Structure formats: C-alpha cells, structure tokens
Amino acid sequence: MKNWQFLNDYTLRNGVKLANRIVMAPMTEQSSFEDGTITTDEIEYYRLRAGAIGMLITGCANVNDLGKGFEGELSAANTDMLPGLRRLANATSTGTTKSILQIFSAGRMTNTKILRGEQPVSASAVPSLQPNAETPRELTPEEVEQTIKDFGNATKLAIEAGFDGVELHGANTYLIQQFFSPHSNRRTDKWGGSLEKRMAFPLAVVSECAQIIKNYADRPFILGYRLSPEEREEPGIRLADTLELVKALNETPIDYLHISLADAKAPSIVDKTDPEPVFAKIKSVLSTDLPLITVGHVASPDQAESIIEAGNDFVAIGRELIREPHWLQKVQNGDEDSIRYTISKSDMAELRITRPLWQFLVTAFKRGFPLSTDEHQIQH
Ligand SMILES: Cc1cc2nc3c(=O)[nH]c(=O)nc-3n(C[C@H](O)[C@H](O)[C@H](O)COP(=O)(O)O)c2cc1C
C-alpha cells in the first residue's frame, strides 16, 4: 500500500487527536422536517460516511428561526432539536471520526417564503446581487447581541447532544460573512465601518462560543471557523481583508481554520495577475499551531495527497464522499481502483442519498456532479 501522508494523525491544540487528514465537507441535504428536526434518512446517510475519516462536518444548522436559509435545513435553534441532534451525534461521532455540527444563520441569503412571512435580516438593508434577492431588514443592536447568544446556545446544544465540536459557518456569503463584507455591512455603529469593526461580529461569535465551551463542555470540544477568502462584489471582501481576519482569529481559541474554495489550489478570483494559490497566502499568516482545512474539487487519493503535499494540514472532500462513502476505507485497504467517481440514479438507495439532496446536486451542482451518463468526468 502507498504511504499516503493524508493517513497521518494530527493533534489539535486542544488535545483532540484526529485519526487522519480527511474531512467530510459540510453539505446540507435539504432533507430535515419542516421544523428543522433531523430525519432518519439523513442520519443513515451520515452514518454510512462516518467511521474512518478523521472528521465529519454536518450540513449547516440554523441557530435561530430567522437564520433558516433553505427548506429541509437542519436546526439547532432550540432545545426541541436536542433529541434529533443526539441521534445525529451518536451516528457520526465514532471515536475514529470526530463529528462537528456546522452552525450558521443565512442572513440575507433566504426569502420571505422560507421564513414563513418574515423579512430576511442582515447587517444592513442591502440585497445580495443574486437574481430575485429580497432586501433584508437591518438587525437592531439588540438583535445583533441576541444572534451572538444564539450561536452560543447552538454550541451548548451541540455539547449536550454529544458532538465533538462545532464549526462556525463564516463562509459562502451567509450572515457571519455578511458582517465582514463591505457589500452587505454598511453599518455605522460598533458593528460596521472600518475593517476592524466589520470583524467585530465574527470575533464576538467566536468569543461567545468559546466561553460556552469553557463553561459547559466536560471534554475537549473543537471550535472551528470556516471562511470564504474573497468576494467578487464591488465593494467586497478582498484577500488583504481576509488575511487581517485570519491574524485576528489566530488570537482566539479556535482549533482550526477551514477555507471554502471551489478549487483547492485556485489563485485569487479577483486579482488575476497573482498566480499564488489562495490557501498558501492564508497559511503564511495562520498561526503555526492552527491547522488549515482546504476544500474544492478533490476526488482521487492522488489529488488529496497533492493538497497535503502543497502545505495544507487537512483536505475536505464534499461531493466525492457523496458518491463514495467508503473512500477512505478503500484507500486503507489498498483498493483505490474500486473508488467510484460517477454514480447514477439507481445508486441512490445504496448510497443513502435522499431525493431532495439528489435534486439539489443535479440542478445547482450539475456541472460538478458527474453522473454515469455525463460526458464530463472528474480527472483523477
Ligand atoms: C449539496 C451541497 C451542500 C452544501 N452545503 C454546505 C453547507 O451546508 N455548508 C457549507 O459550508 N458548505 C456547503 N457546501 C459546500 C461544500 O462544503 C464544499 O465546499 C463544496 O462542495 C466544494 O467541495 P467539493 O468539490 O469536494 O464538493 C455544500 C456543497 C454541496 C455540493
């Protein structure tokens, strides 16, 4: 068997040892009940993928009702969700696999229909540039404070449910990112204005969740942070802003940084003259005791290895783990040749893929989700 570096273990600075460097990327399945309670179908989908990988990050769970971004989204908004969250933690925290609940608020990336008549909220009353985007209402200072507490409450639920950690979803244009972005944050109070003030909400959320962990966790509990390094909007987040946020995060008690990229080795999407991969720029300012997780179009073991060889600590795999739940077991058994890179609709039941997830994959992600019948196949 090949001596893959991604099979090496890693000990986080809070003492938690991760069995290897393969992480399941957070992917919502849009398959929860209407109130955000997890369904048995989702539990079985996750159970199939846990067991060998070092870390499994769940799809995003909203921390309050106004934070809901999709139909079928998982909720961590109140104690009613605890029994379902316990079942999810139980199915995915296996000892070898550490299970992380991703928590978020969608902010302006939702609509009145999903919120059952309520207007979406954000840092400021600025709509996103997406087609048909609704104009959100600006959160009041009291609501900002309450939202920070809601992230803390969701963290407490994750601790009680038996997860090994939470990941703060500060990426993919959702509320935490909306406070950091000069596009969506036009506030003039302590939560907006300068770069430093735009960092205040993300850092306050980190601080609240870290305090909850300190107060309530009876075991080392992982706190991760996911961010999107850049925005195309004008004004928008630029890499220089993100590098300052990373430096500020270095000073907080997070245990890892996770960057959300469409292509793990991609250079800037804004400055086309700079060929250096974005992850390398981030790694260069990240504290040496904080590991970096990078994601984006990784399918084969060779691709995963090249991400680690390039200087990343962990590689997150999304769609390929949907197609191949036992990707890591196959590598561990020297059986790489049987790894599936394409699937067809008739594989859904075996792979525990729910109908809403299938629909989402073949519509929103069609080009990046090779089916057996597609001409386009992932190069590996
Ligand atoms: C179906 C689906 C759902 C996703 N849901 C989330 C999510 O809940 N939270 C998140 O941070 N990213 C989400 N993402 C982004 C993935 O975490 C990942 O960054 C992206 O799929 C690129 O990785 P890949 O090329 O390995 O699939 C989702 C992606 C897919 C395909």
pLDDT of 373 reads: 56
Look up residue 31 and give its amino acid. Answer: S
Look up residue 245 and give its amino acid. Answer: L
pLDDT of 174 reads: 98
* Of 19 and 374, more confident: 19
CA-CA-CA-CA torsion sign (250, 255, 261, 265): positive
Instruction: Give 257's strand partners.
Output: 225, 292
* pLDDT category of residue 367 using cuts at 50, 70 and 90: confident
Is 378 inside any structural domain? no
pLDDT digits (tens, 9 = 90+) for 206-231: 999 999 999 999 999 999 999 999 99
pLDDT of 1 reads: 75
**84 pLDDT exceeds 50?**
yes
| Ligand 1, atom 29: closest residue by C-alpha | 27
Does ligand 1 have an atom closer than 6 angstroms to the CB of 296?
yes
The CATH number linked to 343 is: 3.20.20.70
* pLDDT category of residue 371 using cuts at 50, 70 and 90: confident
* Mean of pLDDT values over 252-266: 97
* Mean of pLDDT values over 15-26: 98
Is 377 inside any structural domain? no
- Catalytic site includes residue 174: yes
DSSP string, 230-242: ---SSS---HHHH
Does ligand 1 have an atom closer than 6 angstroms to the CB of 59?
yes
**374 pLDDT exceeds 90?**
no
CA 255 vs CA 12, 152, 225, 245: distances in Å: 6, 16, 8, 15
Pocket test for ligand 1, best of 24, 27, 380 (most atoms within 8 A of CB): 27
**376 pLDDT exceeds 60?**
no
CB 269 within 8 A of CB 230: yes
Helix H or strand E segment including 169 = strand 165-170
Number of H helices, E strands in the chain: 12, 13
Q: Token pair for residue 10?
A: 């890693």
Is 376 inside any structural domain? no
Alpha helices per DSSP H over the chain = 40-49, 82-92, 141-161, 175-180, 195-198, 200-216, 239-250, 278-285, 301-309, 319-323, 327-332, 355-363
Does ligand 1 have an atom closer than 6 angstroms to the CB of 339?
no
Is 373 inside any structural domain? no
**380 pLDDT exceeds 80?**
no
Is 199 inside any structural domain? yes
* Mean of pLDDT values over 243-259: 98
Pocket test for ligand 1, best of 22, 24, 28, 256 (most atoms within 8 A of CB): 28
Does ligand 1 have an atom closer than 6 angstroms to the CB of 258?
no
pLDDT digits (tens, 9 = 90+) for 51-71: 999 999 999 999 999 999 999
Which residue matches tokens 């959702």?
174
Residue-averaged pLDDT of the chain: 96
Burial of 11 (0-12, 13-18, 19+ CB in 10 A): exposed
pLDDT above 90 covers what percent of the chain? 94
CA-CA-CA-CA torsion sign (173, 177, 183, 185): positive
pLDDT of 147 reads: 99
* Mean of pLDDT values over 107-113: 98
Is 229 inside any structural domain? yes
Question: What residues make up the domain containing 336?
Answer: 5-368
Is 375 inside any structural domain? no
* Of 364 and 268, more confident: 268
pLDDT of 181 reads: 98
pLDDT of 364 reads: 83
| Ligand 1, atom 30: closest residue by C-alpha | 27
Task: Tally the domains of the chain.
Answer: 1
pLDDT of 378 reads: 34
| Ligand 1, atom 10: closest residue by C-alpha | 26
* Mean of pLDDT values over 13-21: 98
Is 230 inside any structural domain? yes
